[in-house]
Amino acid sequence: MHLAVFGASFDPPHNGHLALSLFARELLGLDRILISVSNNPFKQKRGLTDGHRRCLAELLSLEINRTGVCSEVSGWELEKQQPSYTVDLLRHLHHLYPTDHLTLLVGEDSFREFPLWKEPDVLFSLCDIVVFSRASTRPGASFPATMQPKGSIKVIDFSSPISSTLVRDCVAAGAPFSHLVPPSVYRYIIEHALYRHPLDSATSTQVPTHRES
């Protein structure tokens, strides 16, 4: 089975995440996409609690599955209650699915931090790496030669102007944002009054619970 791993903070998930997932499913012939909600050590300042981010990732997964069931959410990184690293997640998945072919899906912005990742060279022995790059740039172009990854990476042109930061800024400013996120994510943000004030989402306790997929 071809299993793709797509990890992010999902704070919140947006139409760029959805488009990338659907594009990867068709282009790479994926059997399953694992949406992993991360505790990225490079992103310590988050707008939402882990519970809200998990719920929003579940909504993203449901949106992906509207056109064919292949996505599920993992909360393994959140359950560690500490900064999470991709190499640890991939080792965990290898233990769970020893016969699966693993592919890591990475956005260009995350890839630019690749030299700072934990044991980056080890990743090449654990999975294939596919970077979704803006059509006008190429990953690695901004890296010094001494920091170039020591392995094969497949690059796919993928241009999306949407970011989680843009969504948060629009909500905080009272600007329209329904065109930036899937409908279910939009409704969740409105219903829970997220991102309107720095303390609103951080202190909210009305978060549905989910069992591990």
Classify residue 152: in a domain, yes or no.
yes
Judged against a pLDDT cut of 60, whether residue 143 lies above it is answered with no
Q: What is the pLDDT of residues 152-195, one digit of tens each?
A: 789 998 988 899 999 999 999 999 999 999 999 999 999 999 99
Domain containing residue 52: 2-163
**Residue 127 tokens, joined:** 């999975």
Specify the pLDDT at position 80: 85
Largest CA distance in the chain: 49
Strand, coil or helix: 117: coil
Judged against a pLDDT cut of 80, whether residue 130 lies above it is answered with yes
Percent of the chain at pLDDT > 90 equals 64
C-alpha distances in angstroms, 32 versus 2, 8, 73, 74, 211?
7, 17, 11, 12, 19
Closest CA to 81 of 116, 59, 49: 49
Q: What is the mean pLDDT of residues 77-98?
A: 92
Q: Which residues pair with 129 in a beta bridge?
A: 104
CATH number of the domain within which 37 lies: 3.40.50.620
Classify residue 174: in a domain, yes or no.
no
Residue type, 81: Q
Classify residue 131: in a domain, yes or no.
yes
Give the orientation angle of helix 183-191 with respect to helix 50-65, to 10 degrees: 150
Closest CA to 192 of 173, 171, 212: 171
**Domains contained in the chain, number:** 1
Specify the pLDDT at position 146: 42
Judged against a pLDDT cut of 70, whether residue 212 lies above it is answered with no
Classify residue 92: in a domain, yes or no.
yes
Average pLDDT over all residues of the chain: 85
d(CA 7, CA 193): 25
